[in-house]
Amino acid sequence: MASFRRTLSPAYHDRHHHNGVVSVSSPSHKFSPNSNNYSKLTSPLHALLARVAGAFAKRYGRKGQWRKTLFRCLLFFFVGFLLGMFPFGHVAVNDDIEIKTPRASTISNKAQLPRDEETDFTIDPVRLTAENHVSEAVTNFRFDFAPRKQLIVVTPTYNRAFQAYFLNRLGQVLRLVPPPVLWIVVEMNSASMETAELLRKSGVMYRHLICTKNSTDVKDRGVHQRNSALEHIEHHRLNGIVYFADDDNIYSLHLFETLRHISGFGTWPVAMLAPSKNKAILEGPVCNGSQVIGWHTNEKSKRLRRFHVDMSGFAFNSTILWDPKTWRRPTSNPIRQLDTLKEGFQETTFIEQLVEDESHMEGSPPGCSNIINWHLHLDSHNVVYPKGWLLQKNLDAVFPTK
């Protein structure tokens, strides 16, 4: 096969390359630096583009037509991109333009069937407009929400056979009371693991306190425990209604609902068993509405008391303890129960530190005609306290079955 070789023209032997750019020395090239056309291009960017275009035009010549077209497209895209980065004008935005949404029309015509096809039902009109009945009802509704007062229930306890039963019973009652409720349980000398576990499982917000004051008299034990709770309330400035709830008493849910209506000091009658356990007696206020006008009492030994109230028959606002200016107390001495008095007189001496007379008391509930808690004096002196509230043997005597 014959081969055709194209000899290089002598006119192309003296090509030179300057800085990687191919320059053509032929005087006939119109983009030559020595030509007149090139001198007319005054812009450096146009000169650069012309030089690159001339180089590619010579390199690809006749064979690379599609490459030349692709290069021109890319070149014009690059130039347009550069021009778009530097806008030569701005768009004025008119702030007065308002976009109004068209209102939906209301279809008030009832859809009716032809007379020859009438049936027993009618079709209600379809309304496309959104009526504002719900929004108007929401805006006109007033949220008269008053937060509940916190109840601070103070319970002195000690290790005995019925302690688990008493604390569980009281804890279940407090669990049914709407929050906020704070249960302050006070023990003597040290905290028992059994009481701590019971409080954790009660489901009630609680604080487990320890009374470290030495006391050999059983009568003074409850006084010191209540004073420890009062010191805790005063120190931390707890706000709420303070109520002394012994663990061996019985309480109704209505009692705790009544406590939240007390503003300063409230009292009510308490039903209790007589010391002989053969009859029930009543101790507490006689009320005319919410005004205290007298007292119930059946014990001759306690008739010398100023106020005939049981320890579980009154409650008071905790701010009386740590805010004497608001209640206009004559002194700022701490309010505590006294352990130097005979049994049965701790209540009246403590109440005398809170209020001056019956005019500062509130009968709860109005009329004082309902019994809302009971004091039964259930003691277990001869029953041994089991460690951990568990018995090693279920029965002291085991009888074999036949």
For residue range 189-244, list pLDDT tens digits in order: 999 999 999 999 999 999 999 999 877 666 689 999 999 999 999 999 999 999 99
Positions at the binding site for Mn(2+) = 248
Q: Is the pLDDT of residue 391 over 50?
A: yes
- CATH number of the domain that residue 222 is part of: 3.90.550.10
Share of the chain above pLDDT 90, in %: 41
> DSSP code of 209?
E
Is residue 355 in a domain?
A: yes
Strand 250-251, strand 373-375: pairing: antiparallel
> DSSP code of 11?
G
Q: Which of 136, 197, 343, 347 is catalytic?
A: 347
Query: Looking at residue 35, what is its pLDDT?
Result: 47
Query: Looking at residue 220, what is its pLDDT?
Result: 80
Q: Residues 343-372, buried b or exposed e (16+ Cβ, 10 A)?
A: ebbbbbbbbebbbeebeebbbbbeebeebb
Positions at the binding site = 248
Strand 280-288, strand 270-273: pairing: antiparallel
Per DSSP (E only), the strands in 162-227 are 181-188, 206-211
∠ at Cα 240 (369, 144), nearest 5°?
Answer: 80
pLDDT in tens, 287-326: 999 999 999 887 666 678 899 999 999 999 999 999 988 8
For range 125-151, the mean pLDDT: 61
Is residue 138 in a domain?
A: no
- Domain containing residue 257: 151-375
Q: Which of 240-249, 296-305, 343-352, 362-371 has the weakest average pLDDT? A: 296-305
Is residue 201 in a domain?
A: yes
Is residue 362 in a domain?
A: yes
Is residue 174 in a domain?
A: yes
Is residue 93 in a domain?
A: no
Is residue 128 in a domain?
A: no
Q: By C-alpha distance, which of 192, 224, 227 is closest to 208? A: 192
Q: By C-alpha distance, which of 113, 247, 233 is closest to 167? A: 247
Quote the number of domains for the chain: 1
SS3 185: strand
Length of the chain: 402
User: What's the CA gap between 216 and 196, in Å, rounded?
Assistant: 24
Average pLDDT, the chain: 76
Is residue 103 in a domain?
A: no
Query: Looking at residue 110, what is its pLDDT?
Result: 45
Query: Looking at residue 105, what is its pLDDT?
Result: 47
282: β partners: 271
Q: Is 231 a catalytic residue?
A: no
SS3 295: strand
pLDDT in tens, 27-48: 444 444 444 444 444 456 667 6
Specify the residue for token string 């919410």.
Answer: 290
Q: Residues 152-186, buried b or exposed e (16+ Cβ, 10 A)?
A: bbbbbbbebeebbebbeebbebbeebeeebbbbbb
pLDDT in tens, 73-115: 888 888 887 777 766 555 555 555 555 555 544 444 444 545 5
User: What's the CA gap between 275 and 265, in Å, rounded?
Assistant: 28
